[in-house]
Structures are given as C-alpha cells and as structure tokens.
Amino acid sequence: MEKKDEFVEMRVRTIDEAMKVDELIGHLTFNQVMDDEEKMDIMMLDGQNFKLLLEEVNEPHRMMLGIINPDEADLLYAAVNDPEGTDATLPYQTVHILKELGVTVEKVVVKDKVKLLHRAIVTLRKEDGSVMEMQLTLFDALVVSLIAGVPFYVNAKFLEDPRSGFTKSVPNTKALLLRLMPLKGLEREMEDAIRREDYEYAELIKQEMATRNKEEEEDYEDFEDLEKKL
C-alpha cells in the first residue's frame, strides 16, 4: 500500500546574510583580497545573498534552508514583522483584492517538485464555499501565507532525518549550490554534467548562467544611466 504524504507546518526562523565578509577576508590586506580571484568571486556572488531558514512548528523542529536575494529578504522580513507595511507589494495587493472579492486564503501547501523546483499551492475558498487553488513559487507562497496569516505546510518527504537539522533543498540542493558557485565553477559543472549526460542538471546550470548574465547586463545599464545623470 502506497504511503500517504504527510504535511508539516513550517515558520520562518531566521533571515541572515549568506556570508560573513569579515570571516572570509578579515585576515587579508586590501591588495591580497584584490589578488585572490576566488575570494573576489565568492564576495561578488555570496555578498548579495541571504539565508532563509524555515523551522517545523512542532517537534522535532526539522528545518529547511534556502537562498534568497536582498529584495526578497527585505520583503520577507517585512511580512514577518509588519505585514501591513507590505501594502505596496504585489503579494499584499493580491491578498487584499481576493478579500474584496469575497475569497479567503485558507492555507499554503508545498506538495511536490516540478522540474526540480518545489510547487506551492495556495488554497482559496469562495463565498459560496467552493475551493480554488493558485500555484505560486515557494517564496511568493510563503510571503502570501504571512500576509494572509494562514498556515504554511511542507511535504514531510522534503525534510531530512531530524538529527541532521536541514532539508536537502529550497528550492533544491543543486539549485542552491549553483547559486553560491562562482562562474568558473558553473562552467566546470556544465562540462561535468554533459560528460555524465545529466541533461536535466545541465539545463539547471544553463538557467543559472543566463540569470547571472542578465543581472550583469542590468547592472551595466544601471551604471550607464547613472553616468548620464552625472
């Protein structure tokens, strides 16, 4: 008989910087840092990331670890500490509009994975009692649950043995590690994935590299705009 999925309620435990710069380069001089290409790569990438730690509400308090960007960290921090202060954001407006339409957000459930990414389902109930479902990314669904004040559940299969403390991924281990990896590391991973004919992983690497390139282009455009203003 197939085992039925178990769902556990989670809450935000901490939102911290992904890297402590002073621990990485505290013993180095400025010139040494500039000459250390690997540390510079780590600083340029990890310095822009935050660690999100989710904790199981009840015993044994298993945890999930994820990497989010600064904008996501700011939004999540506000949603945790002052939900009404997020009134200018899309998640808040979505919850508010649904409420005006007589639709209540009941719960959020992270059920499974689709192409290595977690699939979060927001359950909505209309005034006539009928139920609807809305699919969101894990992060957006988490913010919606905080703003709406409803439980956030995760499929227990995503949690490791409680002795280890962490889950394998949010959104998944490979994506998380790729997010932390310097560009040269991504290139090596791509070569290895192709050699092993792991094309699903290669596609994940390709997406991460494309995201990096897009972010660099946007940063360059912002810099050009700033130069024009000056």
pLDDT digits (tens, 9 = 90+) for 190-215: 888 898 888 888 888 888 888 777 76
Burial of 6 (C-beta count, 10 Å sphere; 0-12/13-18/19+): exposed
Give the span between the Cα atoms of 122 and 142, in whole angstroms.
10
pLDDT for res 130: 94
Amino acid at 64: M
At which residue do the structure tokens 């997406």 appear? 207
pLDDT for res 81: 93
pLDDT for res 37: 60
Closest by CA to 120, choosing from 139, 95, 97, 101, is 139
Q: Is the pLDDT of residue 218 over 70?
A: no
Is residue 53 within 8 Å of residue 80, measured between CB atoms?
no
Average pLDDT, the chain: 75
* pLDDT one-digit tens code per residue, 75-102: 999 999 999 999 999 899 999 999 999 9
pLDDT for res 184: 75
Is residue 117 within 8 Å of residue 172, measured between CB atoms?
yes
The mean pLDDT value for 25-41 works out to 54
**pTM confidence score:** 0.60
pLDDT for res 128: 92
* pLDDT one-digit tens code per residue, 103-133: 999 999 988 776 556 788 999 999 999 999 9
Give the span between the Cα atoms of 54 and 15, in whole angstroms.
9
